[in-house]
Structures are given as C-alpha cells and as structure tokens.
Copies of this chain bind each other. A is one copy, B any other.
C-alpha cells in the first residue's frame, strides 16, 4: 500500500484579531475559507448555528458606528452568542487607564470576546495585552479595520476566484483611512498590486515605506485597474481644508458615469459605506452593474462570523 502524504493541516492559533499586517497569506486564506462555510447560514430560513451558545460578546464602541456594530451583533446572534452593547464617546473617556478599567470590568463579568472600536491607534493591542478575553479590532484610529479588509478580499475572491495579479486602486482620503491600510495588507499578501489614489494632501507621508504604488490622478489609473475601492470622505475626521472644495474633489476623484466608460467592462466597484452619493461616486455607479457594495455588506457578516468563531476556538485550545 502506498503511503498517503498529507500536508500538515493548518491550525488557527490567534485568540485576537488586531490587524492584517501581522497575518500571513495562509492565515488570511483560512479565515476566508471559514467564512465561506458560514455564508450559507445567512441564506437559510433559520439563520442560527450553535457554536457560540452561552458565550458573551461585548460591542465596545468608543466611536459611532451603525453598520459595523450591527454586523458584529448579527454575526454573534447567528452563532447563538449573547451580545452586550457598550457605547461611549471617546471624548468622555479619560484615556488609557480608563479604557483598561472598562475592559477589565467587562472581563470580570465573564465576557468572552471584546469587539472594540476606538479613536486611538493601538487600542485593541493595548487591550489584548491586558485582558484574557479575545479581542477583535473593529477599527482603531487611522491604523487598521481588519474585518473590513477581510470582507473586501472575500468579496473580490468570491467573484474573481483569486486576487493574484489583480490591479486594485484605493481612492480618496488614504491618510485618514484604516480601511485603506487593512485592505492594503490583505490585498498585497494575497498577491494583488495596490495603488493608493488621491490628492497629495490625503496620501499619508509614510507611503514610501508601504507596499503600494501611488497616483495623484484617478484618470491616469481608471483604465488599468480590475478593482476600485472608493473610500468615504469622512468629514468628521478632516481638520483644516485638505482640498479646496467638495466640488473640486469630486471633479478629480469622484467615480462618475463618464469615468466608468473608460474602465474595464468587468471592473469591480467597491465602497466601505455609507456612501456620500454624488461625492465619492455618482448614484448610477453605486447602483450600477459593476457595483458590489451590497455584496460587501452581506459578506461582512460571514467574515465576522468566521472571525468570532476562530478566536473563540483558539481561546478554547489555549485554556
């Protein structure tokens, strides 16, 4: 009898998901494959599976969010976990120590997983070092928003089969975007070529050290890319006057019907939402046949179910 050779099976070992920078391609792929298994639960008549029954997840959001918060809440609910909603504006919280006190208190109540959004980069890492519960970063400052990055590559992979060799533009306010950073790590690790596109004032100064190309002209790259991710202009984060006027920004960096005529016919149009219609893109584009924006939302649920499932599993192995 011939010997059967098996490749060593991959085993997920992280009890925190803090960012995609630290993950390798195999880990990212494993999350996506796990998400694929969960995707069908959301299309069933009874949208429930039991793996996290009796587990408690806290949505610890120090910044406003509707869709990410709801997405995690629904993902938790589909896995039969209980969820505690915790809201506090960062401004009301007196820095570092209080964040830890808040988290330690939640942990003392027996929380299993903390999903945290915070205006300070590194907030989730700080937590993960100081509590025993699993920590999932749902956005920290301008640093990372890993589940958004994961749902973006999940969406592309689902349609195109693979990211290898794809040319992807991420357009807009790169400097203040944690989505751009998490996308960049996930996309490049899976073999795509990423270009940041925006006015010089909105391209981060450290871009030279990042694995991306830079372009200051949407018109220059629109014909070449397979995927275009239009970032939201986050007026609430823009201090000063990063661009002369909304109208001018929109003129140079908005995805119009006109510009779409020069794009590849099968280009994928993405947006992390919510859309400022008529600003980042025209409504006809947002609702057009190339748009996968609502698929991103749907896939976000499957990806977050996978992440909740995996960190919980890793925690169980450790203890």
Q: Main secondary structure on chain A at its contact with chain B? A: helix
Interface residues in A246-285 (C-beta closer than 8 Å to B): 273-275, 277, 283
CB neighbours of A43 from chain B (8 A): 110
Given the known A-B contacts A77-B82, A105-B67, are A47 and B298 also in contact in the complex, defined by CB atoms under 8 Å?
no
Contact among B44, B45, B108 with A297 in the assembled complex (CB-CB below 8 Å): B108
Q: Taking CB as reference atom, which chain B residue is nearest A298?
A: B108
CB neighbours of A70 from chain B (8 A): 84, 86, 106, 109
Interface contact A274-B108, CB-CB below 8 Å = no
Interface residues in A75-110 (C-beta closer than 8 Å to B): 77, 82, 84, 86, 88, 97-98, 101-102, 104-110
Interface contact A273-B110, CB-CB below 8 Å = no
Given the known A-B contacts A56-B47, A105-B67, A277-B97, are A42 and B110 also in contact in the complex, defined by CB atoms under 8 Å?
yes
Bitwise, A36-66 to B at CB < 8 A (1) or not (0) is 0000001111111000011110000000001
Bitwise, A276-319 to B at CB < 8 A (1) or not (0) is 01000001000000000011011011000000000000001000
CB neighbours of A55 from chain B (8 A): 46-47
Interface contact A45-B54, CB-CB below 8 Å = yes
Interface range on chain A (Cβ under 8 Å from partner) = 35 or more
CB neighbours of A105 from chain B (8 A): 67, 273-274, 294, 297
Q: Taking CB as reference atom, which chain B residue is nearest A301?
A: B109
Task: List the number of copies, as a whole number.
Answer: 3
Q: Is A73 an interface residue (CB 8 A)?
A: yes
Q: Is A71 an interface residue (CB 8 A)?
A: yes
Interface contact A73-B84, CB-CB below 8 Å = yes
Q: Is A18 an interface residue (CB 8 A)?
A: no
Interface residues in A171-193 (C-beta closer than 8 Å to B): none
CB neighbours of A84 from chain B (8 A): 70, 73-74
CB neighbours of A298 from chain B (8 A): 108-110
Given the known A-B contacts A67-B105, A101-B275, are A110 and B45 also in contact in the complex, defined by CB atoms under 8 Å?
no
Name 29 A/B residue pairs within 8 A (Cβ), A-sorted: A44-B54, A45-B54, A45-B316, A46-B53, A47-B54, A47-B55, A48-B54, A56-B77, A66-B86, A66-B88, A70-B84, A73-B84, A74-B82, A74-B84, A74-B109, A97-B277, A97-B283, A98-B274, A101-B274, A101-B275, A101-B277, A102-B274, A104-B294, A105-B273, A108-B294, A109-B297, A109-B301, A110-B298, A110-B301
Q: Which chain A residues have a beta carbon within 8 Å of chain B's beta carbons?
A: 42-48, 53-56, 66-67, 70-71, 73-74, 77, 82, 84, 86, 88, 97-98, 101-102, 104-110, 273-275, 277, 283, 294-295, 297-298, 300-301, 316
